[in-house]
A and B are shown apart, each in its own frame.
Chain A
């Protein structure tokens, strides 16, 4: 199985400040298609996860542009340019190149 490793595991951010989460995979997620099969999901308190970013850097419909994804191969980053109170929750990366799909451990984001 592909192992996904996130860091940090928790993050406290002042509203309006940026935040960054790293995700590393044990194998490259970039096949010959040229797409990185890496998604970012946010699970707000008491809710189901929701898609933020797919294929490494494509924002899902309705996701604010303060969220951005970057990286390729085995190293990926989710950035929030200016954190808002509604961004609290646990962020997960997930690889979707191979089955079984695997998730990172999650990064809990809180507001200072």
Chain B
């Protein structure tokens, strides 16, 4: 059974970098055919796609965040990561990691999410 689990600091100060890791179990992250994805949800709001990464390291970023965003993958640890720099209160959100099936392009497995608050 595929499981994804987000981890990282829950509180980040403004102007600093938000860093999250998604640990994957039940499947090797280096298996082709999947795009490992980050999505966020501002409190009480809808879903926003942040970006995704293939096992090869190819990334797809949301242009609205691109200048601040780094998504990376570590196949040896079977996890992928998100870094968002220069955060503000507007980056306070629930952050989800998910797996997208390549080719059919649907998100079939999601982590439980982690709430990150940006505050001094």
> Which A residues are within 8 Å of any B CB, using their own CB?
1, 35, 37, 39, 41, 43, 47-51, 54-55, 60, 92, 94, 96-97, 99-106
B107 within 8 A of A: yes
Interfacial chain A residues near B107, Cβ < 8 Å: 39, 41, 49, 51, 94
Q: Are A96 and B47 in contact (CB under 8 A)?
A: no
B96 within 8 A of A: yes
Mask: chain B, 50-64; 1 = CB below 8 Å from A; 0 = not: 011000000011111
- Inter-chain CA distance A100–B49, complex, in Å, is 7
- B67 CB to closest chain A CB (Å) equals 14
Q: Are A96 and B100 in contact (CB under 8 A)?
A: yes
Interfacial chain B residues near A55, Cβ < 8 Å: 104, 106
Q: Are B113 and A54 in contact (CB under 8 A)?
A: no
Interfacial chain B residues near A43, Cβ < 8 Å: 47
> Which B residues are within 8 Å of any A CB, using their own CB?
46-49, 51-52, 60-64, 96, 100-101, 104-108, 110-113
| Other-chain contact of A105, B46, B105, B106, B108 (Cβ < 8 Å) | B46
- Inter-chain CA distance A60–B109, complex, in Å, is 11
- B99 CB to closest chain A CB (Å) equals 10
7 new A-B pairs (CB below 8 Å) besides A96-B100, A103-B48? A35-B104, A49-B96, A51-B107, A94-B49, A99-B52, A99-B60, A106-B47
Q: Kindly name the residue among B105, B107, B110, B111 whose own CB sees the greatest number of chain A CB atoms within 10 A.
A: B105
Q: Kindly name the residue among A41, A51, A60, A100 whose own CB sees the greatest number of chain B CB atoms within 10 A.
A: A100
29 pairs of residues in contact across A and B, judged by CB atoms under 8 Å: A37-B105, A39-B105, A39-B106, A41-B47, A47-B112, A48-B112, A48-B113, A49-B96, A49-B110, A50-B110, A51-B107, A54-B104, A54-B105, A54-B106, A55-B104, A92-B47, A97-B105, A99-B49, A99-B52, A99-B61, A99-B62, A100-B49, A100-B60, A100-B62, A100-B63, A100-B64, A103-B46, A103-B48, A104-B46
Interfacial chain B residues near A47, Cβ < 8 Å: 112
Q: Are A102 and B108 in contact (CB under 8 A)?
A: no
| Other-chain contact of B106, A92, A96, A102, A103 (Cβ < 8 Å) | A96
Q: Kindly name the residue among A43, A47, A51 whose own CB sees the greatest number of chain B CB atoms within 10 A.
A: A51
